Amino acid sequence: MTALRPVAADAQDERPFAIVDKRAATLSVYAADGRLVGRAPVLLGLTPGDAEPSSARGKAPSALTAHERVTPSGRFEAQPGRNLSGERIVWFDYEANLAIHRLRPAPAHQRRPERLVSANLQDRRITLGCVVVDSTFFDQVVLPTLGAGSSLVYILPERAPLVASAGGAPHAAAP
């Protein structure tokens, strides 16, 4: 499989897409016509940030340190696929082992099901960098929309600097 990396925008793109809002810890999935199919809370990378640390590149997921567990920002070409266990997932950065996938069983002390529904957004920081959703949402929304072929995943930055516009009002700088 070819590496899936951030790509430039194409105004004529007619693929389904998803938007990950890291500040709100949500995933919104849209049909190719722009219709919202569903929105759900997500688990994200343990460490806030907008770029994969260079030290993480090429490491096995189990070898990542806490500061390397980042969900990167950007526009990604996504493809459905399977992980090493054969589970269906949607790759958004194959080279970095990053995907959208369902909540999996984990050690009880991680409390992932409770974290996923927590109103405290810091509770939703636990993954290696993947975007993790409830199994039902994955099966009913993500797979039918993004799992049928090529799609786009936009991951919004969470640390973009604020700059003043011409009118003096602050807004997020372009990533």
Q: Could you report the per-residue pLDDT of 84-134, keeping only the tens digit for each?
A: 899 999 999 888 888 999 998 777 888 888 999 999 999 999 888 899 999
Q: What is the distance between the alpha carbons of residues 126 and 141, in angstroms, rounded to a whole number?
A: 23
Q: What is the DSSP letter of 20?
A: E
**Is residue 3 one of the residues assigned to a domain?**
no
| Helix, strand, coil % over all residues of the chain, rounded to 5 | 20, 35, 45
**Is residue 52 one of the residues assigned to a domain?**
yes
Q: What is the distance between the alpha carbons of residues 170 and 5, in angstroms, rounded to a whole number?
A: 30
Question: How many domains are there within the chain?
Answer: 1
pTM: 0.81
**Is residue 35 one of the residues assigned to a domain?**
yes
Residue 161: pLDDT above 50?
A: yes
Can you read off the two tokens belonging to residue 145?
């929309």
Give the range of the structural domain holding residue 120, as residue numbers without chain letter: 17-172
The more confident residue out of 111 and 53 is: 111
**Is residue 146 one of the residues assigned to a domain?**
yes
The full length of the chain comes to 175
**Is residue 8 one of the residues assigned to a domain?**
no
**Is residue 48 one of the residues assigned to a domain?**
yes
Cβ contact 64:96 at 8 Å: no
The pLDDT > 70 percentage for the chain reads: 78
Cβ neighbours for 18, distance < 8 A, ≥ 6 positions apart: 27, 28, 29, 30, 78, 100, 142, 145, 146, 151, 152, 153, 154
Closest CA to 78 of 136, 27, 22: 27
**Is residue 168 one of the residues assigned to a domain?**
yes
**Is residue 5 one of the residues assigned to a domain?**
no
Q: What is the distance between the alpha carbons of residues 24 and 94, in angstroms, rounded to a whole number?
A: 24
At 58, which CATH number?
2.40.440.10
